[in-house]
Amino acid sequence: MAVEVLMPKMGMAMKEGTVSRWNKQAGDLVSKGEVIASISSEKIEADLEAPANGVLLKITVSEWEGVPPGTVIGYIGHPNEQIAEETAATATFQTAALEKNLEEPVAMTESATIAASPTSAKEVKISPVARKLAEAAGLPVESLIGTGPVGRITKEDVEKAIAEREAKQAVAAEDDRLPAVAVEETTEQLPVTGMRKVIASRMMASLQESAQLTITTRADVTDLIALQKKMNEVTQKEHEIKLTVTDLIARATVLALQRHKQVNSAYIDDRIHRYGHVHLGIAVALEQGLVVPVVRYAESTSVLDLSRRIKALAAQAREGTLGMEEMQGSTFSITNLGAYGIDFFTPVLNSPEAGILGVGAVQETPVFIGEEVQRRSILPLSLTFDHRVLDGAPAAEFLHTLRKYLEEPYRMLL
């Protein structure tokens, strides 16, 4: 009997998962434990392994379609094994009924029948991705022919209809021998799902729901870099860990937040919440988007422990093993674009936090020290803060304190 391949539940808060890529196609041989697809949900992306040996008999959920966890997305069985039509139809119906954008009323009795009328767009069986693609192209969904299960219209059906329409328009233009006209450029349309969808909604909400302002400064980190190099001679040899400038910036930020608790705050339900502990968010860039794992109780950690935890969380993020609980509850965040050669920029608040620090690229700059010109390492810093919580002066005081720690790094060791 065919084995069902189910959409996994990745995290307690997961409501919908998306098949971002099928590594195998129907008819391919698969081995138990072999990666057959990539699954994304909110800020987590993971590989989906085959639950059994055999042949991938059927794929019931196309790429970029979102379905609730537990939904059957495919079947694995013996070569030439047939899936009972009733079983396949039932699984398809259950999947469709669970999808957010496909909530169709079902007639329960004869008295609930609807007067005969032309098929409406809402009544057409069509995947959410196909519906969006058809709407963007101006195609009436009721005019499309579905080739999916139970006559459901798929993304491929819409793409075929668009291609046929463009072909007809090209033939008509050639037959009429009209002068060359501007043809609408074909663009690649990517559905916004999973991690990208969450980032988009949260960033828009952040900008719409808070009064954001960014101020900038420069810190001379020449001595900080020298200290980092000296400390590494010991930490790499005795503790097998390499301290980075980012680790020391994180430590300085935690110390500055303890002295300026109003920055370690959030605006929630018309109240300012000032936190007693520092839960530091460190932004990590992934191919699929951005995640912000959280170092909890960062004020209680040493420089070495802070470095270890930052590196461990970043590694988990890149491996796709971060849990939702490890990306929630931050009170202040740091985002570093220095590796990309960026100087100053405007970070967007990680709501409901009151502040986020943007770190740019270190620049070797000639600076007057007394009467002499010296080569110094200058670090650009950008602080975005919520003006509902902070005014410009206390935000500037925090940035001044942070700069003091970075320019006189021995203060971090006292």
pLDDT in tens, 375-407: 999 999 999 999 999 999 999 999 999 999 999
Name residues whose C-beta falls within 8 Å of residue 101's C-beta, 6 or more positions apart in sequence.
Answer: 128, 131
Q: Cβ–Cβ contacts within 10 Å for residue 363, how many?
A: 14
- Asked if CATH classification 2.40.50.100 holds for the domain at 3-98, the reply, yes or no, is yes
Residue pLDDT, tens place only, 16-53: 888 888 999 988 999 999 999 888 876 677 888 999 99
- Lowest mean pLDDT, pick from 2-11, 269-278, 314-323: 2-11
Whole-angstrom distance, CA of residue 30 vs CA of residue 143: 38
Give the model's confidence band at 413: pLDDT under 50 very low, under 70 low, under 90 confident, else very high: confident
Domain spans of the chain, in order of start: 3-98, 114-175, 195-413
What does the pLDDT average to over 79-99? 55
Active site residues: 387, 391
Angle at 155 between CA 82 and CA 53, to 5 degrees: 35
297 by Cβ neighbours in 10 Å (0-12 / 13-18 / 19+) ranks as: exposed
In terms of DSSP bridges, do strands 54-59 and 29-30 run parallel, antiparallel, or are they unpaired? Answer: antiparallel
Q: Does domain 195-413 have CATH number 1.10.10.10?
A: no
**Tokens of residue 83, six digits:** 């899936």
**What residues are paired with 367 via a beta bridge?**
374
Residues 357 and 347: beta-carbon distance below 8 Å: yes
- Which fold is adopted by the domain 114-175? Dihydrolipoamide Transferase (4.10.320)
- Per DSSP, the residues of 86-123 read HHHHHHHHHHHHHSTT-------SGGG-----PPPTTT
Same fold, 3-98 and 114-175: no
- The two structure tokens encoding residue 4: 């069902």
Which tokens belong to 19?
């098949």
pLDDT band (50, 70, 90) for residue 245: very high
User: Contact, 57 vs 88, CB < 8 A?
Assistant: no
